[in-house]
Structure 1
Amino acid sequence: MPPMPTVQDAAEKDPSDAHAGHDAHAGHDAHAGHDAHSSHDAHAGHGGHGDHVGQFRRLFWIMLALAVPVVTFSPMFADLVGYELPHDGWTTWISPVLGSVVYLWGGRPFLTGAISEIRSRKPGMMLLIGLAITVAFVASVGASLGVLHHELDFWWELTLLVVIMLLGHWIEMRSLAQTTSALDSLAALLPDEAERVEGDQVVRVAPADLQMGDVVLVRPGGSVPADGRVVQGSASMDESMVTGESVTVRRQVGDPVVAGTVATDSGLRVEVTATGDETTLAGIQRLVADAQSSSSRAQRLADRAAGWLFWFALVAAGVTAVVWSLVGLPDSAVVRAITVLVIACPHALGLAIPLVVSIATERAARGGVLVKDRLALERMRTVEAVLFDKTGTLTKGEPAVTATEPVDGRTVEEILALAAAAESDSEHPLARAIVAAAQSSGLSILDSSGFTSSPAVGVTATVEGRTVRVGGPYLLAEHEAEELPVAQAWHAEGATVLHVVVDGEVVGALRVADEIRPESREAVEALHTLGVQVVMITGDAQPVAEAVARELGIDRVFAGVRPEDKSAKVAQLQREGLSVAFVGDGVNDAPALAQADVGIAIGAGTDVAIASAGVILASSDPRSVLSVMELSRASYRKMKQNLWWAAGYNLAAVPLAAGILAPVGFVLPMSVGAMLMSVSTVVVALNAQLLRRLDLRPEVSAREILSS
């Protein structure tokens, strides 16, 4: 991974608010009751701060304990089950007294939420629940005091309603707390202490106390406490928590290292180059938080549906009360109206989208996919053409020896070994490519002496008593020699051709070109499997581009395109009616990334603040594009399933709650209605949790697509 610039805040918001998006279901409008009452201690757990989930759990168990005697000493429940209550006068007040405690204490989160929704003029789920339990409470008090008919004694139903609602909220909050663990787990990557080198001593300090220029010691198996640059030692670094790539990367003197990465095999000394909110880890946290709190089309649809359901429930409850009153059953009118209010709460609908988004962005971050724009993620499932920038995306962006041609009597290994020996003292990129090729082939670099370099000609060195020269056409001209026959074909493909000359005799040639990533073939093949057109754009000449396209099976090529003209090519594809995702390295691709329906910056590594990209891939694996598609499609499926379940449940359950089947003898009890409402919430929460099984590793996504 190349050195990357310092992370900047992509969201233009105070980093201290990074968790704010989690509060109250990420701030969607129709469900604003959560937001409004998130300040309440018991229910603030939506924000994922502190032990609020534990507080809600304890509140549920306390209310459940109080509910047992309330239900047991309820005359209506005793008649329903078939047992007799003691005739002592004091027992008749057990249910009213404890039921009032349950209403005032256990129902407080819903009552405060209802008040907040009224103040914000955004009626929603909390107002419905608060209205239902308040009507039940007032009716029960009136019945207990003898003011109202005894059949309006709802203490046991009211108590069970509160208990069941608390259970549903507890489960919901546990689910939300699990999603916000993405941010907590990112923060946990930092060590508790850093070892700062001060002269001959090593002092333990908190990572927050580190400053720019400090040198820290990272022991084998230890985490890097802040972004920095290696000043001593080398180690294989586990960077999977940042890039999603499981293979360790060798870091040595001069290389950048990222806060939270782990030195697996040896120790390092690292000079700190960024701390606190400027680190890569902080940038990733901001992106995850922003993505989880941002809006989307699906969310706005859920918001509108939740708002409609509130008025639908209110009107349905009013109509229910009127109809039952007209048929001469005013007591049943109250019961049925309360049941409608309870069962029609759009609670599950309010949870349907935020929970999916939170889990999806968490899974994405763990897989090295950073979602900046949820709309871009939603659009990814409908992309019809993926436009890849060639250099640095489909290829490695650096020269590599791709072929070696020896003359008769020589071997490939001999030519490569001689060329590497002659080039070993050169810092030229072509020289480094030749030396790297020899090393990867297991060849020993021979000793050389007398190294000289001539611009535009080549290098000369003495190797085992022989004069070895490596260079291009001018070198051959000096020796009045001809190119090897294969050189013409290599030139036609846009490759650089270097000849090896030993003691004045041409002994072989090397083909040097930008190396194609081995993962690119699988990425292109998998995209074709999905029915997606693959297009390549490059500034290279047409022969070079066509050679790469032939090797990878790419459908279409734009060659000789200047960086500033890439966006015009994206627009051209869009005018053809295609939904386009542009995949580039983010260095000079900003206009094209912005023009595309989905802009994907690939190989960003530690630079997570590319403003023009909607999705940032920390790894350089082009198969990561498939991970984004997989995430987009899976998230959409879960959103759609949750919306259908939540909205469909409400629309089907309200008529039952109103008593539409009363003529055939079926009347839905209020407590059962409350239970069904909570079951709906739990089903939506559990369905969203299934996204956690999604494996977004690039190789896994490609394998699953190709095998499907």
Structure 2
Amino acid sequence: MNELTRNPADRHDHADHHDHASHHDRSDPADHTNHADHSSHSDHSGHGGHGGHHDHVGQFRRLFWVMLVIAIPVVIASRQFAMIIGYPLPQWPWLVWVSPVLGTIMYGWGGRPFLTGAVSELRARRPGMMLLIALAITVAFFASWGASLSVLDSQLDFWWELALLIVIMLLGHWIEMRSLAQTTSALDSLAALLPDEAELVSSDAHGAEQIERIAPADLTTGMTVLVRPGGAVPADGRIVDGAAELDESMITGESRTVRRSVGDQVVAGTVATDSGLRVQVTATGDDTALAGIQRLVQQAQNSSSRAQRLADRAAAWLFWFALGAGVITAVVWSLLGSPDDAVIRTITVLVIACPHALGLAIPLVVSIATERAAKGGVLIKDRLALETMRRVDTVLFDKTGTLTKGEPTVTDVVGSDQFDADRTLALAAAAEADSEHPLARAIVQAAGRKALAVPAATDFSSSPAVGVSATVDGHRIRVGGPRLLAEMGRQELDAVAGWRERGSTVLHVLDDDQLIGALALADEVRPESVSAVDDLHRLGIEVVMITGDAEPVARAVADRIGVDRVYAEVRPEDKAETVAALQAEHRTVAMVGDGVNDAPALARADVGIAIGAGTDVAIASAGVILASSDPRSVLSVIRLSVAGYRKMRQNLAWAAGYNLISVPLAAGVLAPIGFVLPMSVGAILMSLSTIIVAGNAQLLRRLDLRPR
């Protein structure tokens, strides 16, 4: 990687300019996303490993619907439920076994994810929601069988409660997993940057050169490969023949192509845009720079997924609260000389301690918030983003493609004494009309925006590292960088020095042998960037810019936008280190980027935000994706985070508050004054609690996420 960033500033001191007609021949990495249908669901050690693939979401969906169908006869045939609602049950002998038999199926089949999750939590010594659910359904299961076999009091017929508990909790987990499912894999997308096959250069028995197509995985150090114009480099290596402009943006973040020739190092995944190369392989497989980025992404994703969920913390406290209340209830009622009441009260406490509302409190908010966000152009992939973004005090923006448009734009034009600026631009556009180079397109577009009359050109030619030329109205018009002037023996115009100081690319225009003008091109700042930075400052958030571009370019953009800190000429691995350094200052960091080089930093940040127009890898590595390229959408994410977290807290407060009140009442704390919470009232309160939680979450749909 050192060779790539050897002299970043040098890249802006010249304007190696040539035709990029073959640039569009390379395949779009986005075409590879169809196979990356994985969901890297973050750590679920406390959730029974109900993992991270879309198939698991489908399994929970199917399990929910099957259990819902089975739950209907279980609830209707339950004696206790019929008594609570007040309808008579037919006196069919077999009817009394409907709830026990089907309830047992529900416990063993529908309850299995919670039971296995409880085992995982016990092994990890981290009690949470799964253990709380497993405790409730297990106690309800055995108590209900005791009541059905007349071993225990008939009041302990909890088959209906067991069925509803399993169904509602399955619904909550299905909603949660569906909202968290990811459609791309960062590592698959990184691998997709490599070509499907490499062209190995070798010699036959007679010494004649031959080309053999092999898989990049079969390459070994020392082999020589052919990289055709528009093709991707299959492995890290050193150029042994040829010279070309390489698109290294997916690795370095540079917004322009870089000239590479014999002896220079090239990196796997970069693209030769104009000319062919022969590259001797120096690193393959896990030793390549791209593989290094893969490891950084994987490590950062694994480390960020260990954060504890808000609902798990509440569930852990409620588990110990319920267990303690159950033990105290059993001891107190036994000491009072009422062993039967002790059993009834203890079991009632343990069953009622698992609130339906708590199981839905977070998943409902996450689901509705992500749905609402998607309609506003914000895709939330990481559930932790809803909690974390509200605490962000530092936003780290990648420059290219995020604060800027990631493409060159003509910013200044100057003409000589004989030619005005418009005539200079029109002639340059005429000469560049047949070129597909990004700088050429920018010049043609600039002339179009000014509605200039661009004359027709003939006899177009391109000279790598020098420029282009064409015949316009009988004159030979040349457009190029410093090397063109050197070849023609001309001195640049005085205005050019100021352009170069602020990091612009400078192209000179010659009419035959006469220098008639010059153009400055730079990566255009998004008009919304200044507003986004100002809004973040009003919230007391520090704004930092990071880029692989040279210091003059970075400073020029930073001055226009008003960011607080600038990190320039930063390599990909240093971007992740920069995030870590900011976190070491006890800052909560949100990283906003769009390139492969941003992926490790996106994954390392407390919240990774990818611009939707960026690469698949950046999108897959981030927790939040902005469908638009408007940096003001970061403010929308903050508003969503604040509102979503507020709803989570409200729902958790209601769900936990229900427990804190109902459990002591069910335990008989008011028995001395003659009041013990009946199971029927507890059931009604549970249902009411669930309805209130669901209704409160629905209010998130009113949130306005449009950029302001």
The one-letter code of the counterpart of 2:307 is R
Indicate whether 1:101 and 2:98 are aligned: yes
SS at match of 1:667: coil
Indicate whether 1:127 and 2:135 are aligned: yes
Q: Where in structure 2 are the equivalents of 1:20-99 lying within 5 Å? A: 27=44, 29=46, 48=59, 51-66=62-77, 94=91, 98-99=95-96
Per-residue deviation, 1:535: 1.5
**Gaps in structure 2 of 5+ consecutive residues:** 1-23, 123-130, 185-230, 232-296
User: Which whole-Å CA distance do the structure 2 matches of 1:347 and 1:419 have between them?
Assistant: 70
Aligned counterpart, 1:200: none
1:24-73 deviations in whole A, cap 9, x for unaligned? xx9553x65x979xxxxxxx998555654443343344345435x8777x
TM-score, normalized by length of structure 2?
A: 0.63
Per-residue deviation, 1:670: 0.9
- Of 644, 648, 656, which aligns to 2:657? 648
Indicate whether 1:447 and 2:444 are aligned: no
User: Which whole-Å CA distance do the structure 1 matches of 2:567 and 2:373 have between them?
Assistant: 31
Indicate whether 1:424 and 2:433 are aligned: yes
Aligned counterpart, 1:497: 506
The answer to whether the 8 Å contact 2:612/2:626 transfers is yes
Aligned counterpart, 1:382: 391
Per-residue deviation, 1:419: 1.7
Aligned counterpart, 1:297: 307
The answer to whether the 8 Å contact 1:359/1:689 transfers is yes
User: Which whole-Å CA distance do the structure 2 matches of 1:384 and 1:591 have between them?
Assistant: 20
1:498-524 deviations in whole A, cap 9, x for unaligned? 344557766554221122233433432
- Of 470, 473, 493, which aligns to 1:464? 473
SS at match of 2:540: coil
**Gaps in structure 1 of 5+ consecutive residues:** 37-43, 86-90, 188-228, 230-286, 704-708
The answer to whether the 8 Å contact 1:400/1:515 transfers is yes
User: Which whole-Å CA distance do the structure 1 matches of 2:308 and 2:601 have between them?
Assistant: 26
SS at match of 1:581: strand
User: Which whole-Å CA distance do the structure 2 matches of 1:77 and 1:417 have between them?
Assistant: 84
- Of 677, 680, 689, which aligns to 2:686? 677
The one-letter code of the counterpart of 2:671 is A
The one-letter code of the counterpart of 1:518 is P
Aligned counterpart, 2:445: 436
Structure 1 residues 691 and 446, CA, compared in 2 at 3 Å: closer, same or farther? same
1:521-574 deviations in whole A, cap 9, x for unaligned? 343233223322112233444433222112112122233445565455445544
Per-residue deviation, 1:421: 0.7
Aligned counterpart, 2:236: none
Aligned counterpart, 2:411: 402
User: Which whole-Å CA distance do the structure 2 matches of 1:399 and 1:162 have between them?
Assistant: 68
1:195-216 deviations in whole A, cap 9, x for unaligned? xxxxxxxxxxxxxxxxxxxxxx
User: Which whole-Å CA distance do the structure 1 matches of 2:31 and 2:618 have between them?
Assistant: 6
Q: Where in structure 2 are the equivalents of 1:194-593 lying within 5 Å? A: 296-299=306-309, 302-303=311-312, 305-307=314-316, 309-324=318-333, 326-327=335-336, 332-353=341-362, 356=365, 378-405=387-414, 413-443=422-452, 445-453=454-462, 458-472=467-481, 486-502=495-511, 508-561=517-570, 565-567=574-576, 569-589=578-598, 592=601
User: Which whole-Å CA distance do the structure 1 matches of 2:604 and 2:80 have between them?
Assistant: 64
Per-residue deviation, 1:135: 3.2
TM-score, normalized by length of structure 1?
A: 0.63
- Of 657, 660, 669, which aligns to 2:666? 657
Q: Where in structure 2 are the equivalents of 1:114-193 lying within 5 Å? A: 117=115, 120=119, 123-132=131-140, 134-135=142-143, 138-139=146-147, 142=150, 152-154=153-155, 158=157, 161-163=158-160, 166-167=163-164, 169-174=166-171, 176-178=173-175
Per-residue deviation, 1:448: 1.1
Structure 1 residues 535 and 526, CA, compared in 2 at 3 Å: closer, same or farther? same
1:94-114 deviations in whole A, cap 9, x for unaligned? 499745533443464247677
Structure 1 residues 602 and 328, CA, compared in 2 at 3 Å: closer, same or farther? same
User: Which whole-Å CA distance do the structure 2 matches of 1:338 and 1:621 have between them?
Assistant: 56
User: Which whole-Å CA distance do the structure 1 matches of 2:149 and 2:336 have between them?
Assistant: 25
Q: Output the aligned Cα RMSD.
A: 5.2
Structure 1 residues 322 and 97, CA, compared in 2 at 3 Å: closer, same or farther? farther
User: Which whole-Å CA distance do the structure 1 matches of 2:626 and 2:312 have between them?
Assistant: 30
Query: Which has the bigger relative contact order, CA under 8 A and spacing at least 6?
Result: 2
User: Which whole-Å CA distance do the structure 2 matches of 1:185 and 1:593 have between them?
Assistant: 16
SS at match of 1:124: helix
Aligned counterpart, 1:212: none
User: Which whole-Å CA distance do the structure 2 matches of 1:432 and 1:451 have between them?
Assistant: 15
Per-residue deviation, 1:669: 1.0
Structure 1 residues 605 and 577, CA, compared in 2 at 3 Å: closer, same or farther? closer
The answer to whether the 8 Å contact 1:128/1:310 transfers is no
User: Which whole-Å CA distance do the structure 2 matches of 1:420 and 1:556 have between them?
Assistant: 37
Per-residue deviation, 1:345: 2.0
Aligned counterpart, 1:207: none
Per-residue deviation, 1:406: 5.1
Structure 1 residues 54 and 117, CA, compared in 2 at 3 Å: closer, same or farther? closer
The answer to whether the 8 Å contact 1:385/1:580 transfers is yes
